[in-house]
Amino acid sequence: MTILTIDNFINNEYVKPSRGLYLDSLEPARAITFAKVPDSTKEDLELAYKAAAAAFPAWSKTTKEHRAKIMYKIADLIESRLDEFAQAESKDQGKPVEVAKTMDMPRVLANFRFFAGSILHSREHATEALGALSYTQRVPIGVAALISPWNLPLYLLTWKIAPCIAWGNTAICKPSEFTSYTAHLLTSVLKEAGLPAGVVNIVYGTGMGVGQAMVEHPRIPIVSFTGGTVTGAKIMAATAPHFKKVSLELGGKNANIVFADCDFEKALKTSVLSGFANQGEICLCGSRVFVEKPIYEKFVQRYVEAAKALKVGDPSLKDTNLGALISKEHWEKVMSYIKLGVEEGGKIECGGQKPASLAEEFQNGYFMEPTVITGLTPSCRTMRDEIFGPVVTICPFETEEEVIQYANDSDYGLSCTIWTENGRRARRVASEIQAGTIWVNTWLARDLKMPFGGFKKSGVGREGGEYSCDFYTELKTICLAG
């Protein structure tokens, strides 16, 4: 098999890492190396910074119409290669091709098209008082450091790139070293769409090798990071002395609350989806399921049946529901939490193993059965720590007050889902839940105009719509005397 070599993308050119060192990039479904990714350092970052800084003056002064035109073209070009991008994302991340095609890639297109449109319809404010006319003006900040994770690689990378360049900034991006393939494919699209050299630069590598240098760079004023809470804390500490603008989307351990008066079939189907979509490797997964006692036994029985029916295996098959976890180390971490759940008194209702029916070519892949655990109390680590895999716990509750306490008794506060046909209850409970996004009778419905972010250890700041505008621009007031 031919192994692909990926190089850094700096100033619209492909540049080898300064030390000439590369990292192995594995295909999770087969556990084989399929690409080499630069093991970049601060020297590579400095090259990218110089390119981004040189491009900023001209790009920041281009018209919104011109920037939007390029962004629409980027989306159109990706759409024309949608199958190629979806297959690449599956190969690199382990998810089923169908998931990449129906979830990841549509959102990539939406990211560019939404922010291209949003800058065309933005407005500023003006007032007349004290004998003067005052008006506001938004200005881009400069070079942004954009660091994205491995679970939704291009989906989340473009969620950062699109608003960043739409508002006239330039960018240095670091995808996860585990999932750099679709970022590499994106570079050819950026060039074909006519994006000027230096506006978007991509430097590959590890957090220690290049990520730390990005957040510590004294002349990079803005950092957007999606990833783990521990890393987020380090970024906060590193950026504080420089007073950088920082947006952190971090972990989640989201409650999924099912009341007895819910639309049972809809709640069941969507709760299974929210528990195991993308192998459970989504920070918004509803992995803590709380079910009101009158329907608890029925719900557990039906949920387990549905989980057992999910197909795990070959990511290329259209009917595959779960692909492979990202790496051996992550597979072992998830397995350790399943064992911990048993030690804490839980009962494995299904799953907890590597599938026995895998085809020979996938025997070494990092697959795991959908796992459901009952019998745990909300204080157990299995119900409190972010596992980030196909592991769901189900727990009964009796009262509204009790389940609100359960849901909020967490270090995280990214999202929550509530299932009830009682509108007053829905509003009442939603107002008490400590989380950035509350879904009622749905899951993962994302209006890009709305703010997105978390409470507590789930992050700092909000992005989306005008909130991304606030993050990627500085606002000044200009006062003209009469």
The set of catalytic residues is 249
Token output for 298: 């029925």
SS3 string, 310-366, reads: CCECCCCCCCCCECCCCCHHHHHHHHHHHHHHHHCCCEEEECCCCCCCCCHHHCCCC
Residue 269 DSSP SS3: helix
Distance CA 279, CA 243 (A): 37
Per DSSP (E only), the strands in 3-158 are: 4-5, 8-10, 13-15, 22-27, 32-38, 126-129, 132-140, 143-147
- Asked if residues 198 and 222 have their Cβ atoms less than 8 Å apart, the reply is no
- Asked if residues 268 and 302 have their Cβ atoms less than 8 Å apart, the reply is yes
* HSE-up of residue 108 (Cα within 13 Å, Cβ side): 29
Distance CA 410, CA 420 (A): 22
The values of phi and psi at residue 143, to 5°, are -90, 125
Residue 14: C-alpha distances to residues 2, 48, 177 (Å) = 19, 11, 17
Phi-psi label, residue 145: left if phi above 0, alpha if psi -120 to 50, beta otherwise = beta
Residue 391: C-alpha distances to residues 181, 288, 370 (Å) = 27, 9, 6
Residue 349: C-alpha distances to residues 337, 394, 419 (Å) = 15, 10, 23
Distance CA 358, CA 415 (A): 34
**DSSP result, 116-172:** HHHHHT----EEEETTEEEEEEEEE-SEEEEE--SSSHHHHHHHHHHHHHHTT-EEE
Distance CA 154, CA 189 (A): 13
